[in-house]
Every structure is written in structure tokens, then in C-alpha cells.
Structure 1
Amino acid sequence: MMKVYTKTGDEGQTSLLSKQRVFKDHARVDAYGTVDEANAAMGLGKSLITNLPWAVEIIQHIQVELISLNADLATENLAVADYRITQDHVTRLESIIDSLEQKRIPQHYFVTPGTCSASAALDLARTMVRRAERCVVRLKRTEKVTPPVSLYLNRLSDVLFVLARCVEQEELIAEVKNKVLLALKGKQTNCTGEDRGNVLNKAKKMIALAEQKAMDIGVPMVIAVVDVGGNLVAQHRMDGALLASVSLALDKAYTAVALKMPTHEVAPLVTPGNPLFGLHTANGGRFIAFGGGFPIIVNGNIVGGLGVSGGAVDEDMIVAKAGLAIA
């Protein structure tokens, strides 16, 4: 069995893959040593990620590639045909960035690392990659470095930035969702059996009033009523109402119950820096952050939710309020 220690570096020198002996503070050693630090930090981030297998897979694949990149850095005078990291690897990182940008909610402010443990580790790895890139720039002034190495490190820092934002976004969404579900569970215990029993009767009357208002303003609507658990009690689609409004009306009613507030009040809370930032992407996008959904309140208790969709937001709200008049 090979020993971990070899004593060959006791005099402050080490061997490159291409067999040259150099001092351990050599620019080439500094470069691949810094990449190794970044790889370790990425491993920490990977270990802290839960329930995001796609993120773990991205990190794992890159970690394997970094071993090949370090082999390129540790080899002098590498022929083009022998490059381990090629332009194809760089292109793949660019495609990852593009894909992650589709997931990420845009942020128009400077990021302060530490929103969650996993993203903090990825941000740490990102700064190490930036340092590794600077080491390679310095190395290239005196020695040959394969061109894809610099490009790869540059793109990798961008991958880690966007990945960190996506990871913290998903963790925040999960945290908010859990809080909403706990709040909803607590609210359910406050409702009396009489309140719950009256929901269906009230739903029929609300739908009738809301439909009359929709007819008055000349806009065909979909009207939905859910109980305190967010389950559908009754739904009505007027002739000519948009098909998309069927799910939107139900989701508005659900959101109003889940968050215990009208849906038009949700919008300011889901913007960057506010308590429910990112919530509208949770639960398959079921949470709605524009008007048309209202909680149904009886004797001070939330017993259900009313959602209306089919017109402009203001029209949806007018029709919903008409239905609530019976509550």
C-alpha cells in the first residue's frame, strides 16, 4: 500500500505531471493549488444541498473536470491534441449558465453571501475560482498555458454565481412554503364546524352574485370557491370565459386561503428583499401574486377563498368583491 507521505517534498519542491521539479511556490503550483481549494469549497457546497439533485449533479460533473484542468496546469508544453480541457467544456459551462438563468429570479442589487449555507459555500468557491483565474493570468506571462483553461475558469465563476442564487432561491421558497402550510394548519383549527358547513351554501350564493356582476360589466369570468384547506368547493365557468382562467381562478382562491390575504396584496411581498420573495414560483407556480383572490371570512375566521379570473385585474377584483358581499 502506497504511503500518503513520500518525503520527496521535504526540501520545498514538488514534481509536475510532466516530471519537472519545481518549488512549491512556483506560479504553476500556485495556480493548480488554488483550483484545488475551489474544488474543495464546491464539495462543501454540494454536501449542504438538500432536495436539489440537479444542482448536485452539476457540481459533481464540474469537480471531475477540475481534476483534468489541474492536470493541464501541471503539465508543461502540452500539445493541442493532448488538451484535457477543450472548448467543448467551456461551451458546456455556457449552456449551464443559460439554463440556470431561466430558473433564477432577476436580482437588481449586490448580493451579500450567506443567505443559506450551501450558497455561501458556492460563493466561497466562486471567489477561489476568480483567484485561480488571476493565478493563471500571472502564469501565462512566463509559461505556456492551454487557452481553454483560462476560459473555463472564467465561465466557472459565472456558473457558481448563478448556481448559488438558484440554490438559495429554492431554499427560501421551501422555507416560505413550510411557513405558509404551518400557518394554514393553525388557522384550520380555529374554524368551527358550523363555519365549514356553510361554505358550500355560501359558495353558491357568491358565485351567483359574482356572475351577475360579470354580466353587468360584460366580461365572461370563471369563479372558484375553496374551503379553508384550499380544496375546491364549487367552480363556475361562464360562456366565453378563457380556458386559462379555470386554473387561475382556482389558484387565486387557494392563494388567498394559504396566505390569509387578498392576492393583490401579495405582489409587493414577492419582490426582491421582501418576506415572500420567490414564493410565486413555489408549489408549481400555484401561488398567484395579482388581484382577483380574496379570503372568505365568517365571524372573524377564514373559512375559504374566492377566486375570479377572466378580465383585467381590476375587473376580476370588482367581480370577486361583488361575490363577497354575501359573506
Structure 2
Amino acid sequence: MKVYTKTGDEGKTSLLSKERVFKDSIRVHAYGTVDEANAAMGLGKSLTDKEWVIDIIHPIQQELILLNADLATDSVTGSNNYRITPTHVERLESIIDTLEQQRIPQPYFVTPGGTSASAALDLARTIVRRAERCIVRLRRTETVPTPVALYLNRLSDLLFVLARCVEQEELVAKVTKAVKQVLQSLEQKDGGKDVMLEKAKKMIEAAEKKAIEIGVPMVIAVVDNGGNLVAQERMDNALLASVSIALNKAYTAVALKMGTDQAAAVSQPGQMLYGLNTTDGCRMIVFGGGFPIWENGVLVGGIGVSGGSVDDDMAVAKAGLAAY
């Protein structure tokens, strides 16, 4: 069968119920708009490499073909055995509920375009909304199955939440990649590891002195500018958990080129780096006690302290930092 049939040359097309209608009829507008939304969803699918996103989009695209078949059937002359049912609507609601558990709430209006895939999904969402408006108009004069209208309403909500989750995941991945690139490109610039080791010992000695002064046993760690451990000390009776926490504080300070207390401020809910502590194998520490070590404007390492309150950890870390 040829792609072109010439049957619509006079401006009419056939519904599935065989009725001939003009191509600008509201029913044709409705299923044509759904077709646009399907294409926009396909664009979003092609712009992501995340299988979980594709696994959500593709089945919905197939269901939209069934939905269009329902829209292309005049209830007066067609069958009442519609293809889209309340079960399809319930499935969309279940997906929305699952995505909402993953999404970071955004207490502001979203501007589309954070990523290519999310922008395409937002475009699909607005087209679905237009299709829904077409159906509202169509229902004033003709019968449209209730599940069809409900399906499109829920789909627009799903596309909004899906776009936000895609955006969120890509942002975290981008930050993680940038941090790793910084770590890989950093070079030792303080005259060699032996020099860094000697300075690390002095820093640990000064930090330990401060810890004894305030009466809190601490774990003190010093890393180089690649986040690699140079020296670490666990004072008697210091918490075992502090061994890894101190090291990771020092690593975080180097990875982000900022104190871990500063990282805490930018990783709160609603901030750009919210969720940072879950990246890089959960090594990122977002509370005080870690500081980068700078020498003549060059990052040469980091110090991390753990064992007391945040204020205690920061005071001991600063004492060690001052001895560099």
C-alpha cells in the first residue's frame, strides 16, 4: 500500500468508524495533537541514555496509539469496546507516586531547559495539555470515553515529574563528573610527598594539642591535592566511626575546594547541590571539620577532623591548618 492514497485531497479523512470528516474537525485536532505529544516524547526518549526513563516513556507511547484509536472512533457509529481503560489511568498514577518519592521538591516555578531530555519532556507535557483542551471542547458536542480524558490529564502530570527527575539526576552526574575531573587534573606542587608528609605531621601535632586542650579525643587526617591519604592519627578513645569520617572530610575539602561547612550551606534542600552527600560513593561530607590546604594560591591538600561536635571538629582542624 502506498504512503499517499489521494483520498484526503479534498480536505477530508476517515475515522476508524469509517465516517468521513473534515481534517480540521475538533476530533481530528484532538488525536492529531496527541500524535504531536507522542513525537515529543520520542524526542525525549532519544535524548537520554537512562534505561529507567526509556522504560517509562516507551509503553506510554504505545498506549497513546491506542488512545488515538479511541479518539478516531465516533461513538455513534463505532464500537463501545474502547481500548483505554481505568486500569491504564491507575498505572500512570502509580508511576507518578513512585517518581514523587525520588523528586527533590522545588518551591518555585520551573523554567524548562535544564537538560535536553527534560526540555523535550516539558514540551511533550504542554502538548498533552493542549490535547486535553481539545477533548474538553470535543466533549461538549460528542462522546469521548472518560478514561481517555483522565489518561491525558494524568500524563501531563507524569511528564512534569519525570522531567524534574531526569533533570535532577543529570545535574548530580554533572557535578560528580566535574569533581572527578578536578581530582584527576590536580598535580602535587609542594615539592614532593616527603615534604607534604613532614608538614602533615606538624599539622596533626598542632591539631592533637588543640584536641587535648578542649578534652575531646579526635581523629585527624591529612590528604594531598589528589585526595590521597598522607597521614592520619586516631587519638586514644576517639570514635572508630571518626576514622573514615575524618578522611572523607579532608577528601571533600579537596574535591570541592571549600570547607565542609561551606558545602553544608550549598547542599541544603532547595540549594543547587542538594543531594551532594549521596554522590561519589557517599564520600562527600557536608558538615564542618574539613578544610582545603592552600599554598600561594595553589591547592596542595586537605585536613579533616572528627570526634566531637561540629564546632569542636572545626576548631581542631583550624589549629592544624594554622601549623602548615
TM over 0.5: yes
| 2:45–2:54 contact (8 Å) kept in structure 1 | yes
State the aligned residue count: 321
In the alignment, which residue of structure 1 is the partner of 2:53? 55
SS state of the match for residue 13, structure 2?
strand
Distance 2:299 2:62 in 1: 53
Deviation at 1:39, TM superposition (A): 0.8
| Residue 198 in structure 1 maps to residue 189 in structure 2 | no
Distance 2:321 2:238 in 1: 23
| 2:206–2:320 contact (8 Å) kept in structure 1 | yes
Indicate how the Cα distance of structure 1 residues 257 and 46 shifts in structure 2: closer, same or farther if over 3 A, else same.
same
In the alignment, which residue of structure 2 is the partner of 1:295? 292
In the alignment, which residue of structure 2 is the partner of 1:96? 95
- Which one of 71, 77, 97 corresponds to residue 69 of structure 2? 71
| Residue 317 in structure 1 maps to residue 284 in structure 2 | no
Structure 1: state its 5+ residue gaps.
none
In the alignment, which residue of structure 1 is the partner of 2:245? 248
| 2:219–2:238 contact (8 Å) kept in structure 1 | no
Distance 2:231 2:87 in 1: 55
Indicate how the Cα distance of structure 1 residues 326 and 46 shifts in structure 2: closer, same or farther if over 3 A, else same.
same
TM-score (norm 1): 0.84
Distance 1:222 1:86 in 2: 62
Identity %: 69
| Residue 21 in structure 1 maps to residue 20 in structure 2 | yes
1:158-173 map, 5 Å:
158-173=157-172
Deviation at 1:23, TM superposition (A): 1.8
In the alignment, which residue of structure 2 is the partner of 1:326? 323
SS state of the match for residue 22, structure 1?
strand
Q: Which amino acid aligns with 2:92?
A: L
| Residue 183 in structure 1 maps to residue 182 in structure 2 | yes
1:23-172 map, 5 Å:
23-49=22-48, 51-77=49-75, 82-172=81-171
Indicate how the Cα distance of structure 1 residues 313 and 151 shifts in structure 2: closer, same or farther if over 3 A, else same.
farther
RMSD: 2.9
Q: Which amino acid aligns with 1:319?
A: V
- Which one of 240, 256, 264 corresponds to residue 267 of structure 1? 264
Of residues 316-325 and 214-223 in structure 1, the stretch that sits farther from structure 2 once superposed is 214-223
| Residue 258 in structure 1 maps to residue 250 in structure 2 | no
Deviation at 1:147, TM superposition (A): 1.9
Q: Deviations over 1:93-126 (max 9, x none)?
A: 2222222223322222111112222221111111
Distance 2:114 2:209 in 1: 48
| 2:219–2:243 contact (8 Å) kept in structure 1 | yes
Distance 2:176 2:224 in 1: 19
Distance 2:6 2:129 in 1: 32
Deviation at 1:64, TM superposition (A): 1.5
Q: Which amino acid aligns with 1:60?
A: H
Deviation at 1:246, TM superposition (A): 4.6
Deviation at 1:310, TM superposition (A): 4.1
Distance 2:45 2:70 in 1: 25
Distance 2:52 2:135 in 1: 30
SS state of the match for residue 295, structure 1?
strand
Distance 1:215 1:84 in 2: 75
Deviation at 1:257, TM superposition (A): 0.4
In the alignment, which residue of structure 2 is the partner of 1:232? 229
In the alignment, which residue of structure 1 is the partner of 2:303? 306
Q: Which amino acid aligns with 1:145?
A: V
